[in-house]
Structure 1
């Protein structure tokens, strides 16, 4: 019987994974990535909610109860972030664990998209490597992977957009341009800062001449505008377009002007240091892109896409690590190119010593890329929620974020479900966790510095909806609010973490 012996070069370039059917290969990639993500994420599900998360969750709850964001409760983020929080509020207690689990479900939904994009850019092995690397790096504790901020929330629609974009590079079908625009529209309704950098990339898609490219841009623009139609219709029907426009445009302009003076190159360099091995490797992967061959152009658009998110993070003017989270998937996809290129043999089969050296080089590179993430997350095992908050946010996390659950428990024990409360501070999580409604639509203090007459409106709302409990930062309750509280008989009953809690004497005795 004749035995087929593959040519020497074929034997050299084959890998154990190359013979797997495509579906089995994808399932293997997803299984490995799920295990990696679970190991990184499960031990830190108790991380307390931070300020933005508390605001998003509380606004989502008010919306579920029939209120309307911006009109009935003030915040300045686009409305899709509140919709994304709703599933976590509908199942079980509306606390950190539910939100962390929902964050992880959204993360898992990203993995098949990342695999599909990796297949377009590289090969099966590259796609598997990209998914596993992203499951680890994208679950890094110090990169705030478990936090469901707008930057983490926008990655899922962003990956849908990138999936459409790499298909648009190889296909003239306008549906890919439309899907790309639609995905960017959804991203805009979570956090729009990167969208102006990303929209022009549709011009790199395959199209017959300049008219074809312009047509693609117009189709993408129509897709981008589509998600805004129900938003405008809903707030217009409620007669609240002015509130919508003020929160999303006027207030954000004022907020950006205030932020301008807080730009710190030193702090931003510290953030880049956290991702420097991945960033350097991604630069090498980006160099494998080009204009002529389709796959090289697909790599080029991924590189430009990633630059768009990095530029948006820098334009945010604040050194917040979560601003850079949306760039991680692009950095991983590009870095994979360097790893797979290093793994591929060149020319005739090399001797065993050379193959061993090549495998060692690949393993060392992966160790440099992944060990910081694994080590950082492993150090958080068996930490209490207070210790987790301090590890991620410093003393502020210990004194304020972690203390919100204790404050909320005290409020539940000393009030009735229908009572209103007021928090002078920036921890809306207290409203959420105590399951009590705020006496004012201003659920944190930032707008009081920027919105004309906001403080007058606040005092009027506190008079019309007197709170049964007032919470403030320790020793920081303004005289006007303290005067109202003491006139109603409220007294400072206890201090929890960094908070003073004011209640009626009879309630404090419960």
Structure 2
């Protein structure tokens, strides 16, 4: 997905997010079309139309600020559905490539391999077909690793995720997020729950797909709302099957109710306040007012959009404090600090800030456990080279001392 952003900015400039937003809309439309094709192949054209519509309606049935951004989970969906679409037609090499694409967008996309393997087994389980599936999956991943850096690729996609996927942190905080986002999706699907319960035993590959997607949601124990988007395609297919076993009047009523619920989520997205975004905008205005174009700044926060909004280059490759502290917005109470950083990051950070110190340093931790007072390197940098320059919306500003 970073390559997608880079390509969009190269073609259309980096002053607007409209191109990537349009790409996200296109991703959802492609997903809906693939779902329609899967449903039509099983239950007819009407079921195909219903499945596509349900996917689009249910995809807005979560916290809009979390799930409607042009983020990894959105671009994951076309590849996961394409994997099932290809496997359903016994295009095993292409199915493997689609699984690889899903994995390369987001690691949890690889769980779609489970229903793909079930379809392979039900198709006869031939060794040649399995080889095609394996080769189709391995080649894109291997090519990507070689095009970047094999050791770095392995670290950033697999071995470096240990802390993120650990059991550390506040259990009530994590459990509350899991229950809230599950309740939101259940609310968006409320008109479909009874038909689903009455539909009888669904095809095994769809049940396995839904279960594998639930496993993907659980992985990492963060339970962000956008994780739940992975549940939507199999849920839409299962609901379309269930509705087309119901009388036409009941089917139409369920669709109208689901559309009404989706409209409520859209209104939420349009009307709800956005405190984090508003804070980032105010902070960006302050950064722009205190620096000249081209002057490097360091924003110590979890909101990298401040750099883009301010139009100022970052002083470090680490655009958030996460990799340097193990702080994550998804898990309160996790161990944070320099000892828990990704190995080697502080060495790189010290070299970057020593070679070309940022003109302005913004501490936007606002008293969090990843604030500079808990971090010896950052605390020393502030004490030796910077002086206070006021506060903005709770964030502390520091400017580089002359000489």
Do the two structures share a fold, i.e. TM-score over 0.5? yes
**Map of 2:397 onto structure 1:** 501
**1:265-284 residue pairs with structure 2 within 5 A?**
265-276=175-186, 278=189, 280=193, 283-284=196-197
Identify the match of residue 144 of structure 2 among 202, 215, 231.
Answer: 231
Shift of 1:337: 1.4
Gaps of 5+ in 2: 326-339
**Map of 2:291 onto structure 1:** 415
Q: What's the secondary structure of 2:396's corresponding residue? A: strand
In 2: Cα distance, 1:231 partner to 1:314 partner: 27
2:114 and 2:212 in contact (8 A); partners too:
no
In 2: Cα distance, 1:438 partner to 1:196 partner: 36
Cα offsets for 1:94-117 (capped at 9, x unmatched): 455554333223222323222212
In 2: Cα distance, 1:428 partner to 1:379 partner: 25
2:114 and 2:209 in contact (8 A); partners too:
no
**Map of 1:147 onto structure 2:** 69
**Map of 1:215 onto structure 2:** 128
2:291 and 2:359 in contact (8 A); partners too:
yes
In the alignment, is residue 83 of structure 1 matched against residue 3 of structure 2?
yes
In 2: Cα distance, 1:481 partner to 1:338 partner: 57
In the alignment, is residue 305 of structure 1 matched against residue 209 of structure 2?
yes
Q: Which has the higher contact order (CA 8 A, sep 6+)?
A: 1
TM-score (normalizing by structure 1): 0.66
Aligned length: 375
2:385 and 2:401 in contact (8 A); partners too:
no
1:141 and 1:377 in contact (8 A); partners too:
no
**1:330-349 residue pairs with structure 2 within 5 A?**
330-343=234-247
In 2: Cα distance, 1:372 partner to 1:437 partner: 42
In 1: Cα distance, 2:81 partner to 2:273 partner: 29
**Map of 1:461 onto structure 2:** 352
In the alignment, is residue 247 of structure 1 matched against residue 156 of structure 2?
yes
In 1: Cα distance, 2:216 partner to 2:195 partner: 18
In 2: Cα distance, 1:200 partner to 1:127 partner: 20
In 2: Cα distance, 1:254 partner to 1:379 partner: 34
**Map of 2:381 onto structure 1:** 484
2:86 and 2:94 in contact (8 A); partners too:
yes
In the alignment, is residue 113 of structure 1 matched against residue 34 of structure 2?
yes
Q: What's the secondary structure of 2:165's corresponding residue? A: helix
Gaps of 5+ in 1: 1-80, 169-175, 290-298, 345-358, 390-397
2:196 and 2:242 in contact (8 A); partners too:
no
Identify the match of residue 119 of structure 2 among 204, 213, 217.
Answer: 204
**1:18-417 residue pairs with structure 2 within 5 A?**
81-90=1-10, 91-140=12-61, 142=63, 144-168=66-90, 176-196=91-111, 198-199=113-114, 201-205=116-120, 209-210=124-125, 212=126, 214-236=127-149, 241-257=150-166, 259=168, 262=171, 264-276=174-186, 278=189, 280=193, 283-284=196-197, 287-289=200-202, 299-343=203-247, 359=249, 361-381=250-270, 383=271, 387-389=272-274, 398=275, 400-417=276-293
> Whose Rg is larger?
1
In 1: Cα distance, 2:154 partner to 2:200 partner: 42
Question: Taking structure 1 as reference, are residues 485 and 408 closer, same or farther at Cα in structure 2, changes over 3 Å only?
Answer: same
Q: What's the secondary structure of 1:419's corresponding residue? A: coil
2:61 and 2:185 in contact (8 A); partners too:
no
In 2: Cα distance, 1:141 partner to 1:200 partner: 25
Query: Does 124-133 or 195-204 show the bigger shift?
Result: 195-204
1:420 and 1:437 in contact (8 A); partners too:
yes
**1:422-461 residue pairs with structure 2 within 5 A?**
422-449=298-325, 450=340, 451-452=342-343, 454-461=345-352
Question: What RMSD, in angstroms, separates the aligned Cα atoms of the two structures?
Answer: 3.0
In 2: Cα distance, 1:285 partner to 1:225 partner: 40
In 2: Cα distance, 1:367 partner to 1:440 partner: 50
TM-score (normalizing by structure 2): 0.81
